[in-house]
């Protein structure tokens, strides 16, 4: 099944307790595509400047990603600078340079308009609606956002939420959008805004899936070393949406499996800077970690612990 992603491709300067990199490849659409392309056909829509190199383009093409929607224009590519301290769940943004991304206006080709699965990465909710106006009849639409849009364009975001199937955000964003410090109550408030499903990313604490009054949990895979959490959320979303598109189903069981796959893919991403860990990732490696994940979360039936 075809999976469309609309988002950013960028250069990142990142500092973590494990080191520092400059001009590292990043952006929501790149991380998402590197992950989701392991499972399904991906169509990428983004904009880069004339300073963007050929190597990542060739890498994505080698993964089978359709890049006819990646537009290169005169100017500089979007850049982000951030720093992580001991708490790797939170990044301190040092600088953001939108550059050509500031004039980004997604226009879909006739083929892209027929995409069956759609992921709208973190961009202005007005632009997200512009994309939805162009897609003809998608089976499933998921969306990411951030506190900047929640704080500055809440009404516009709520209009967009009425038109999607699943919202994917972190727990801080969920509390802010849902207006409650309790994640469960906040999730219920968010679901009333329109989405059928809500996935809350919780970094090293895994992820939660809310489906009406029911919810499911997937833990993060335990790692000895975490080098760079940049892009982990987009890698998670890519693994999840790629799996859903591969199975061509949004049944409760598939959604739970997809969330585990998302956590599995994110666990690879954080093991190196940028998306370097994703470059040579193979299906046997994914299957091996997925089997380890199954053992991690498996629990056989047991008798009631009540007193005899």
* pLDDT score of 28 more than 60: yes
Rounded Cα gap, residues 290 and 136, in angstroms: 35
273 with 227: CB under 8 angstroms?
A: yes
Return all residues near 1 (Cβ < 8 A) that are at least 6 apart.
40, 41, 116, 117, 139, 245, 246, 248
Q: What pLDDT is recorded for position 244?
A: 97
Cβ-count burial 245-255 (b if 16+ within 10 Å, e if not): bbbebbeeeeb
Mean pLDDT of the chain: 93
| Whether CATH 2.40.40.20 fits 2-297 | no
CB 275 within 8 A of CB 231: yes
Q: What is the pLDDT of residues 148-183, one digit of tens each?
A: 999 999 999 999 999 999 999 999 999 999 999 999
122-136: pLDDT as tens digits: 999 999 999 999 999
178-232: pLDDT as tens digits:
999 999 999 999 999 999 999 999 988 899 999 987 889 999 999 988 999 999 9
């Amino acid at each position: 099944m075809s999976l469309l992603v609309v988002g950013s491709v960028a250069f990142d300067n990142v500092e973590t307790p494990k080191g520092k990199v400059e001009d590292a490849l990043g952006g929501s659409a790149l991380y998402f595509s590197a992950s989701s392309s392991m499972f399904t056909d991906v169509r990428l829509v983004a904009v880069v400047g004339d300073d963007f190199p050929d190597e990542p383009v060739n890498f994505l093409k080698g993964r089978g990603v359709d890049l006819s929607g990646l537009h290169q224009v005169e100017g500089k590519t979007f850049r982000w600078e951030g720093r992580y301290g001991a708490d790797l769940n939170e990044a301190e943004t040092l600088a953001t340079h939108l550059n050509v991304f500031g004039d980004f206006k997604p226009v879909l080709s006739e083929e892209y308009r027929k995409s069956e699965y759609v992921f709208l990465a973190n961009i202005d909710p007005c632009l997200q609606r512009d994309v939805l106006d162009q897609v003809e009849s998608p089976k499933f639409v998921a969306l990411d956002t951030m506190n900047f849009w929640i704080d500055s364009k809440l009404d516009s975001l709520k209009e967009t939420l009425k038109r999607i199937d699943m919202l994917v955000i972190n727990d801080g964003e969920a509390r802010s959008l849902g207006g409650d410090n309790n994640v469960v109550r906040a999730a219920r408030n968010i679901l009333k805004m329109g989405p059928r499903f809500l996935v809350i990313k919780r970094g090293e604490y895994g992820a939660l899936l809310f489906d009406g009054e029911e919810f499911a949990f997937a833990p993060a895979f335990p790692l000895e070393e975490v080098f760079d959490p940049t892009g982990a959320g987009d890698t998670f979303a890519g693994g999840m949406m790629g799996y859903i598109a591969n199975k061509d189903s949004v049944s409760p069981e598939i959604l739970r499996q997809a969330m585990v796959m998302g956590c599995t893919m994110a666990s690879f991403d954080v093991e190196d800077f940028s998306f370097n860990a994703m470059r040579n990732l193979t299906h046997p490696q994914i299957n091996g970690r997925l089997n380890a994940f199954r053992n991690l979360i498996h629990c056989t039936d047991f008798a009631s612990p009540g007193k005899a």
